Amino acid sequence: MAAFDLTAKSFGDDFLWGVAISAAQNEGAYTQDGREPSIWDTFSLRRGKIKDGSNPYTSCDFYHRYKDDLLLVKALGFKVFRFSISWPRVLPDGTGRVNKEGMAFYHRVIDECLKLGLIPYVTLYHWDLPQVLENEGGWASYRMLKWFNHFVTVCAEAFGDKVKDWIILNEPMGFVSLGYMLGMHAPGKMGLNNFLPALHNAVLAQAEGGRIIRSLVKNAHIGTCFSCSEIKPFSERTEDVEAAKRMDILLNRLPVEPLLGGGYPKEDFKLIERLEMHNKAWKYTSRMQFDFDFIGLQNYFPLVVKYNPLIPVVQASEVKAAYRKVPYTSMGWEINGESFYNIIKRFWEYEGIKEIIITESGAAFKDKMVNGVINDVERVDYFKEYLAALLKAKNEGVNIKGCFIWTLMDNFEWAEGYKSRFGLVYTDFDTRLRTIKASGYWFRDFFTAK
């Protein structure tokens, strides 16, 4: 898909442009004012789990620098600030006692957003489960819904008079598959016996969280967000085509279809059979459904797969972008605006999705500062291509209401540590000094161009 010149006005005056961060990746202050460890604080201590050997303990120090960072959001021309609430900061014991200092911090952030004319979009769960709850089984525990519902209730009652826009879960298949099946992310667990109950709990939690917000927050605008990728077979061989179908079920269909009332995909796939057998209490089926006001989509790359009998269950493996000699980011993720367009159109075909917001969009590159300037032209070209694709989908009738850029500033990028930079603003992780990149200035001009 060819990139072309466009401006924010092409999307309409009411289109929501925002930036997104998360608590675990940005806040730091991990033991300050009553906060207790999250699963990522613990996971980062395990040798070899974080590629650069780092941890999120200080990160960007958003906890102390939030006012300056929100001024950056405003100065670059964005309307929305998406951030998450740290569960171990507001409920250090996981449940029960509410930490007043933690709650006061989020009140300050929300008030500062409103003061600057920014719309706060609050994500309730962005992967930082309290370690104390993980010690009791975490997302795989039968008590998970009770813990989660309490957390949501505390947040809704505390902030619901000021925050009207809510995101329940960030990428459920992401944190469940990477954290409870593959062991690549916190808490580092592996196997279907962890994955299956964790997935079912996440599917239930997104709907339960929506119901709680609906009941407690007047005029709430409620969504939840999914990672998604267009899945393509490496060849036309039947084995590759079937492998792509299985991967599509796992990555795209499993989290969203129960939410829309379809239950788990009824396919000839042993994983689905195991999931149904594991969760025999089908009295819960109706609880998996909730009528969200919007769905958030987060697409970073398409996935090309081939049949691989050595991979358990899904029997498919990725064919890397570098091998296929197509453009890719510093993380090896294929750059493909047309695929972005395709996955948006694909999700819009689901009955029951009323509104789509791109709740994350961005790319990591090896940004370098030269004479105080970060000229990240690759990222600018990336956004030109992807925003052109987004506008095409919008102009063809997809009800796309906004796009939030990942991310405001370079931060702790999970298992990548600090080596993968996604920010519009460069973070010096020795001094915490922020420097706006060329891509940040590009967005400022994009918003003001006539």
Task: Just list the catalytic residues.
Answer: 171, 360
Joined tokens for residue 39 = 């699963």
Give the C-alpha distances (Å, rounded to integers) separating 235 from 95, 160, 283, 317, 327.
Answer: 50, 50, 41, 13, 19
Token match 């719309």: residue?
119
Joined tokens for residue 95 = 């449940």
Backbone dihedral angles phi then psi of residue 301, each to the nearest 5 degrees:
-170, 155
Q: Are strands 165-170 and 231-233 parallel, antiparallel or unpaired?
A: unpaired
Indicate the SS3 state at residue 450.
coil
Sheet with 303-307, side-by-side order of all strands:
231-233, 303-307, 316-318
Find the helix or strand (DSSP H, E) in which 214 lies: helix 192-216
Q: Is the dihedral of CA 152, 225, 129, 19 positive or negative?
A: negative
Tell how far CA 72 is from the center of its chain: 21
Closest CA to 151 of 187, 125, 175, 120: 125
Backbone dihedral angles phi then psi of residue 436, each to the nearest 5 degrees:
-65, 130
Closest CA to 15 of 77, 70, 83: 77
Residue 415 half-sphere exposure toward CB, CA atoms < 13 A: 16
Q: Three-state SS across 352-390?
A: CCCCEEEEECCCCECCCCECCECCCHHHHHHHHHHHHHH
Find all residues with CB under 8 Å of 431, minimum gap 6, and list them: none
Find the helix or strand (DSSP H, E) in which 168 lies: strand 165-170
